[in-house]
Amino acid sequence: MNLLSASFRRAPRALAWLCLLPVALASAAPREDYARQWPLQLSRDDGGAYRVVLDESVYRQARDARLRDLDVLDGAGKPVPAAVFAPEQPLARAPQRAGLPWFALPAAPADGAGAGWELVSEVESDGRLRRVEARSTGGAARPPQTALLIDASRVRSPILALELEWTPGAALEAAYRVEASDDLDQWRAVSSSGRLIDLQRGGQRLVQRRIVFDPIGEQARYLRLTPQDPNAAVPISAVVAELAADAATTPLQWRELKGRRIEQSEGRVEFEFELDGRFPIQQADVALPGNHALEWRLSSRDEAEGHWVARAGPWMAYRVDGEGVDDRSAARQLAATVRDRYWRLRANGAVPGEPVLRLGYRPEVAVFLAQGAPPYALVAGSARTTRADSPLAELIETLRQRRGSDWQPAEASLGAAAPLAGDAALVPPAPKRDWRSWTLWAVLVAGALIVAGFAFSLLRTNPPPAA
């Protein structure tokens, strides 16, 4: 028994190294999760919070459609609170407000099954909704109209938040699911926060009317708000959008793309282009040599084999050069900011030459908190990790309330780019293994084998007495 006890005392020491192995494997440096880095040069040492304008090299490196693979690291390589804002944010300018038309709809379930009704709408040529009607199908009774279809087709700035109005009444606490669309057919989920609250107690009233979007804002022709609990919704009387301040002071930058000609039936032709980064495209233009006048339709998609989504058109692009005057058509404003990789142009007639697709964007800004020790670096390009959420939008508003409405983060600028993990960071990681469970089972099995081995050894050295 003494031999058995001593062996048990030595076994945990040997097996402890197996337990430390998963910890060592999990301690990879955050820098190794990104392809490239840009050192950040601070305009002052005591800024506390800083904003840096992104350049085209950052957009070319990013892979995520919402720039979630962009982050800021401190001198030790640890992430600091950071977020990406629209070009004009977070400058100290009050956001604009605009009332939006809205229509009541039945609240369809999240999976869309068994709705029992269909949406009928009339749309003006400029995208404005003229009429919306929900009709029951199959004789089903129409459910209460507690969802909202919001017409944002005339808005040209990103929507930062929605503020809803209602008549005070019964206690209210309701959460809404937000979706966006540019054609009323294809809908996508929108990241948002905020609940509608209207509570009264002891003569005091607590009201929360805002639904807040990501700091970048949301741009789409139409928004749909669906209560998570249709019975907890309240009749809405008005919808006001909080818009980003005018970005006219931010210069528009252009990416010029040469495409691939694809001949179609009946003499029609189309051109396909590939954008080299996650640029926030807001305008489009077509450049052709010589005099011309053609009607174009522009579509885009994010995957090479994905579904094409209409982005602009039909619109006429022309050039008439004569009598010493060169007249050209203006660029086309898109209904929403688009980061898709693949673009397609279709013309309504013969195309003289090879068109150049010009895509315009305004560079966004990354805002970060000077947490940890400098120097700081912006990193981008990763299939392994994403930037953690941070309440920087709320922090900036709080600081403005304390320091004055003209306060804004200090300036920072990008240094020369340098490689980190390179293309290896763009390869998705292998499926994660539950090393903790495997290690535990290995320890248990090893322990059982040790016990069985010593028991067998004891039985051989000390056979039981003969009967």
What CATH number does the domain located at 96-243 have? 2.60.120
Reported residue count of the chain is 467
| DSSP β-ladder status, 410-414 and 49-53 | parallel
What CATH number does the domain located at 253-361 have? 2.60.120.260
What per-residue confidence (pLDDT) applies to 39?
97
Residues of the chain short of pLDDT 50, as ranges, are 1-28, 113-114, 247-248
What per-residue confidence (pLDDT) applies to 373?
92
Domain spans in the chain, listed from the N-terminal domain onward: 2-26+435-461, 33-87+364-426, 96-243, 253-361
Q: What rounded mean pLDDT belongs to the chain?
A: 81
What per-residue confidence (pLDDT) applies to 367?
95
Does 96-243 match 253-361 in CATH topology?
yes
What per-residue confidence (pLDDT) applies to 20?
37
Round to the nearest angstrom and report the end-to-end CA distance of the chain: 23
What per-residue confidence (pLDDT) applies to 90?
65
